[in-house]
Every structure is written in structure tokens, then in C-alpha cells.
Amino acid sequence: MSEQKLTIGQELPAREFRITRDSLVRYAGASGDFNPIHYRDDFAQKVGLPGVLAHGMLTMGLAVQVVVDFVGGSGKILDYQVRFTKPVLVDAKDGATVTVSAKVIEIAEDGKSARIDLTAVAAELTVLGKAQVRVKI
């Protein structure tokens, strides 16, 4: 998507991201994070988790993509912060869906940057808290 004008209160188009066990394998290979909680149900359950979890950084990366696409590229991202509030459980058969919405909260007085807050939800749970992206305008 090409670069867009931002206004306070503006909602960016929401997106759904599908995560499968295959997605987790590919992400593990790219990131080097081969923790078995991301691909083995038995291991995840052994350490007290309900099942296989998506990598937090994968969830974080998918969420910011909504903003990257809207503002015209990753080079416009000045800062990005989140808190991981709930894990994304990835079912072996059905996978998981993360729905991301974004809203412009603030535009700097000089008009050169804006803050966009993200909401990321999976299985009706908010999985990222205080997810804020500062972008260059």
C-alpha cells in the first residue's frame, strides 16, 4: 500500500494473520529460536503451558505490518514497543488467527511523527498490551 495521510482518531484497516505450525517452523529457522514450546505439544505441556505457542517476536512482527503497509514502508518506523500479555496458542490442526487493528492516537506538534496504537487479538484474548508504534510522517 502506498503512503497515507494520518489524522488523530483515524483507524487503519484491520488485518487478520493466520499462523500455522508450518509458520512456526519457518519462523524458528529464520530467527534461530528453536525452543520446543514452539513446536512440541508434549514439551509445552510438560513445562505448564496449554500447548504450542507462537513466538512472541513473530506475533509482534505480524502486528506492526498493519502500520508498515499503511505508512509506506518499514523505514518510517521510528519506535515500536509492546508488552506480551497472553500467548498465542497454535493448534496443530486449526492453527491460530491474530486480528490486528490500529488507531492514530497522537501527532507530534511539529507534524513530523505520529503515535499509532495497536490491538492484537487471538482467540478473543488481547495478546499484546501497550503496543505503540511511532512513525515518521
What's the rounded Cα separation, in Å, for the pair 68 and 78?
11
Q: Which residues, including other chains, have CB under 8 Å from residue 124's CB and lie 6 or more apart?
A: none
Q: For the segment 56-89, what is each residue's pLDDT rounded down to a tens digit? A: 999 999 999 999 999 999 999 999 999 999 999 9
The answer to whether the beta carbons of residues 88 and 96 sit under 8 Å apart is yes
* Grid cell for residue 73: 514502508
What's the pLDDT at 5? Answer: 83
Q: Is residue 23 part of a domain?
A: no
Give the global pTM.
0.91
Q: Would you write out the chain's pLDDT as a tens digit for each of its 137 residues?
A: 445 689 999 999 999 999 999 999 999 999 999 999 999 999 999 999 999 999 999 999 999 999 999 999 999 999 999 999 999 999 999 999 999 999 999 999 999 999 999 999 999 999 999 999 999 99
Torsion of CA 48, 53, 58, 60, to 10 degrees: -60
Q: Is residue 115 part of a domain?
A: yes
Side-chain half-sphere exposure of 112, counting CA atoms within 13 A: 2
What amino acid occupies position 69?
A: D
Total domain count for the chain? 1
What's the rounded Cα separation, in Å, for the pair 85 and 96?
16
Q: Is residue 39 part of a domain?
A: no
Q: Is residue 44 part of a domain?
A: no
Q: Which domain holds residue 82?
A: 11-18+55-136
Q: Is residue 35 part of a domain?
A: no
Q: Is residue 25 part of a domain?
A: no
Q: Is residue 26 part of a domain?
A: no
Q: Is residue 33 part of a domain?
A: no
Look up the CATH number of the domain holding residue 105. Answer: 3.10.129.10
DSSP state of 110: T
